[in-house]
Amino acid sequence: MSRERALVDCAWVAERLGDPLVVLVEVDERPLVYRLGHVPDSHCLDWHGDLQDPVARDLPAPDAVERVWRRLGIDERSTVVFYGDNSNWYACFGAWLFRHYGLEDVRLLDGGRQAWLAEGLPLTTEEPPENVAASAPAAHLMPHYRALCGQVAAAATDGIQLLDVRTPAEFRGDLLTEPGYPQEAAQRPGHIPGARNVPWDVTLGADGRLLPDDELRIVLAGHGVDLERPAITYCRIGERSAHTWFVLHEILDLPEVRNYDGSWTEWGSMVGMPIELGAGSPSALDSGAATGAPAGAGPSSRARATSSTTTASST
């Protein structure tokens, strides 16, 4: 991917309103935001109801994703454009999920809902019709877009960077979760040993739009990101890390980037997982040394952390 293929601006969307080949999708923290007024012709997806499994803590099954695609009128010719509030947190999760299930032409409205409002463009409360696609593309997993817990544990020995995109206070372990999100707290604070803290919003300008490519590379390098090495992004529940995944994989065209959607609410709640507090020491990752967990090891077989590291069962 590249910026030209993955990112659109408000003018691009405004020129294509009513185009049956462009499917606009809004994903917000709360669906009520959409119902108060949205980009004309755009559909609403509920992050909890449409982009998650209804029972397990997991992604929806392929047949559930196909039902969503049919509901939105997506077919093989469609260009899907996501946007939302919070500078596209949840919109990026939707884009990542659709790409994970094999949809090719998925794009992001730069700046999201805020950008549309800032330009004084029209909103509507009228919702477009659904169930308009006779058939949708077959959902097929692209496993190299998603990281599971075992792959995260093996990251250091595999030479993969771990990028924790939460706030510095969450990373250090000062907070279990950001204020206002008590339902998303893990059992323990801290971060995965060896991870670098690269807050997701360092990639944004003051207006909430993504920085130009050259500035993105400078900012990310300044936070210790090696753009020549594979990376796994994580946050608290996978939405902010999906934003950073989008920047790295879809905008800067890094081929080996995965989003760990289990993120800290999974890692920080499992018994026996190595946890580090404080500012961190990513040198172990840089040298390829292990973080206390052999490749492919499950939680029960991980070595206990040493010195500045603690474990979830001993804090």
Of these residues, 10, 44, 92, 235, which one is catalytic?
A: 235
Q: Is the Cβ–Cβ distance between 123 and 66 less than 8 Å? A: no
Residue 295 CA from chain centroid, whole number: 24
Q: How many CB atoms lie within 10 A of CB 245?
A: 33
CA distance 16 to 301: 54
235 is known as an active-site residue: yes
* DSSP run (H or E) holding 71: helix 62-72
Alpha helices by DSSP H, listed for 154-271, are: 168-172, 213-222, 239-245, 263-267
Question: Structure tokens of 230?
Answer: 């594979």
- Quote the strand ranges of the chain, DSSP E: 7-8, 22-28, 43-46, 79-83, 106-109, 161-164, 196-197, 231-234, 257-259, 274-276, 309-311
- Answer for the pair 109, 8: CB distance below 8 angstroms, yes or no: yes
* Active site amino acids: 235
